[in-house]
Structure 1
């Protein structure tokens, strides 16, 4: 038993070492892990988990909560009834918790976590451009003027597609169907860009919606990928415009795009190349939101001037979205954001949640290369 514990504890430092070594060989990870081993593994996991009609991730979260409550009650019982057994219980609990953590982290790294060390998507875009155009550029240059042009373009496309979507009784954008059908239709977006971006093809299980989505809103989370089952999980309680792009975002994680900015960019491309207008509008709204934040930070006057061109319908959607999320602001949301920030930094994303803004860099790179 002691020998087994030692082996389990060793998994953690070995996984850290593996992750460190992987960070030194991004081309190798991209070719043999992301597009090779991991692709096969995730497809298998997602197909197995798709047998269950509910989210295994959600079930696991509630199981952990129930077990934790039971553990606290039992610990308090021992504390007052038998302090000797309580001490033994605490020691064994610490060992067991550390063992579970070591196994969980190791599985995370092996099943999906190494994707954080894959080739950056910006490099992939440049390499693809060089190959197709017989060029040898290493970096794409852009400036504030390019950012202004990008925002102007996104304002026009968002206005244009907003005219085509359905509306509810409050003149707010609504989906062409319910969220269940959105999940079924999402694959079309990836099918349409599989010839543009790598590793988007394959047979994966559909994304799943979270039953307790209203509670999830208090964390500010719109979706989450669960690497242990290959499940892309969606918060179905969010405003309609965000559900299509969120679904594609989590599906991008499923396909090995680990960083948030890359998953956002893939979701954008898949959305605007979808055959259904609710997906297209969702994609442009996603890019518009990130680009507006970037432009506002570097050139507020240009941001203010160009934003006046947004249609009344788009502005109504934005106000409705802000009103929706204002109901869920609080300490839980802040705690969730802090945890997410720590998680990203622990996996080599130095900017933490600020990396979400890097999606704009990918947009600028993409449109500069594909004018």
Structure 2
């Protein structure tokens, strides 16, 4: 067999292997998520975590420049050598695909958090309404505890670097109850690509090759702690967006700081209200009247922020990411972010918030 065919064939083997592996989540949980991944992720964070800037973003920048130069050169020889060029592209993608899954993405195939935590999957409309009411009460309470004024929006006074450090408190408290959510060896950084990330409509991402959690530093500050905790959940081996929303929420409300709690409660309440709107608009309007005006002002702050950057770019990237999620065990695509409401409602049945 000619060498140029080896990596493209290896790509096909990888795809088939992962399709089969999806039927064995317990194997992934034991040998990858709690085995190989623990070693590789800790090693990467130990080596890169103390570097104050994002190595992963720099790698991506170099790769993008290399890719653009390659495309420019390719235009001259594409017609004559297109078969060899296609094989080269498949070979490069094969290597990328291998390291993407070895270093992080195999976590897509692990045991779902529903099963791990023995949480039910289904809930009724009344369950949703009751939980949303409970969440509104709690969010109102925290908002007033911070501002002492129901009409005043929350302004987070901390620097972003301080918030990075303060997230550890919430994860430490959460790990006392659930040891498998333990977060060690920090690697939390402001993304060098925050401006394009904003146009793409993203609050952050995990670099799967360097295990650095990248956070968009342009975000409204009241929600910043929750975004950081979400990306940290990806670092400890959870790939599902709904699960990371749930873990990030838990790490925030377990934090001793009220601003962290507010970031989580206000985020969860927004997701619940969106679900209520889809099911019963009259009920939504009634619930909205019970929300402190200061919280609504924070929501408007976020809305104004994202509207500034609402272009075809974010719609294109969201369409791409939607398909990416569907290809990686998240059949609901971008809607999987809001699926964490299922986890919240069923987890808190018969329990008090916090």
Instruction: Please confirm whether the aligned pair reaches a TM-score higher than 0.5, indicating the same fold.
Output: yes
- Per the TM alignment, residue 214 of structure 1 is displaced from its structure 2 partner at its CA by 2.5
- Per the TM alignment, residue 14 of structure 1 is displaced from its structure 2 partner at its CA by 2.2
1:118 aligned partner:
110
2:124 aligned partner:
143
* The 10-residue stretch of structure 1 (55-64 or 353-362) with the greater mean CA deviation from structure 2: 55-64
* The 10-residue stretch of structure 1 (89-98 or 293-302) with the greater mean CA deviation from structure 2: 89-98
User: What RMSD, in angstroms, separates the aligned Cα atoms of the two structures?
Assistant: 2.2
Would you say 1:307 and 2:288 are equivalent positions?
yes
Provide the C-alpha distance between the structure 1 equivalents of 2:195 and 2:143, rounded to a whole number of angstroms.
Answer: 26
- With over 3 angstroms needed to count, the CA separation of the structure-2 counterparts of 1:57 and 1:366, relative to structure 1, is same
Q: Give ranges in structure 2 of 5+ residues lacking alignment.
A: none
Provide the C-alpha distance between the structure 2 equivalents of 1:8 and 1:164, rounded to a whole number of angstroms.
Answer: 59
> Is the CA contact 1:183–1:206 (under 8 Å) kept in the aligned structure 2?
no
- With over 3 angstroms needed to count, the CA separation of the structure-2 counterparts of 1:327 and 1:28, relative to structure 1, is same
- Per the TM alignment, residue 193 of structure 1 is displaced from its structure 2 partner at its CA by 0.6
Choose which of 262, 269, 276 in structure 1 pairs with 2:243. 262
- Per the TM alignment, residue 147 of structure 1 is displaced from its structure 2 partner at its CA by 0.6
- Per the TM alignment, residue 119 of structure 1 is displaced from its structure 2 partner at its CA by 1.1
SS across alignment from 2:339:
helix
- Per the TM alignment, residue 266 of structure 1 is displaced from its structure 2 partner at its CA by 0.3
1:316 aligned partner:
297
Would you say 1:158 and 2:144 are equivalent positions?
no
> Is the CA contact 1:148–1:295 (under 8 Å) kept in the aligned structure 2?
yes
2:63 aligned partner:
64
Q: TM-score, normalised by structure 1?
A: 0.88
Provide the C-alpha distance between the structure 2 equivalents of 1:117 and 1:212, rounded to a whole number of angstroms.
Answer: 29
- Which string of whole-angstrom CA distances, capped at 9 and with x for unpartnered residues, describes residues 285-327 of structure 1? 1111111111111122111101111111111111111111111
Matches within 5 A, 1:70-81: 70-75=69-74, 79=76
Matches within 5 A, 1:190-229: 190-229=171-210
SS across alignment from 1:57:
helix
- With over 3 angstroms needed to count, the CA separation of the structure-2 counterparts of 1:356 and 1:140, relative to structure 1, is closer
Provide the C-alpha distance between the structure 1 equivalents of 2:350 and 2:112, rounded to a whole number of angstroms.
Answer: 16
- Per the TM alignment, residue 236 of structure 1 is displaced from its structure 2 partner at its CA by 0.8
> Is the CA contact 1:223–1:246 (under 8 Å) kept in the aligned structure 2?
yes
Provide the C-alpha distance between the structure 2 equivalents of 1:86 and 1:367, rounded to a whole number of angstroms.
Answer: 58
Q: Give ranges in structure 1 of 5+ residues lacking alignment.
A: 80-84, 128-138
- With over 3 angstroms needed to count, the CA separation of the structure-2 counterparts of 1:187 and 1:58, relative to structure 1, is same
2:99 aligned partner:
107
1:133 aligned partner:
none
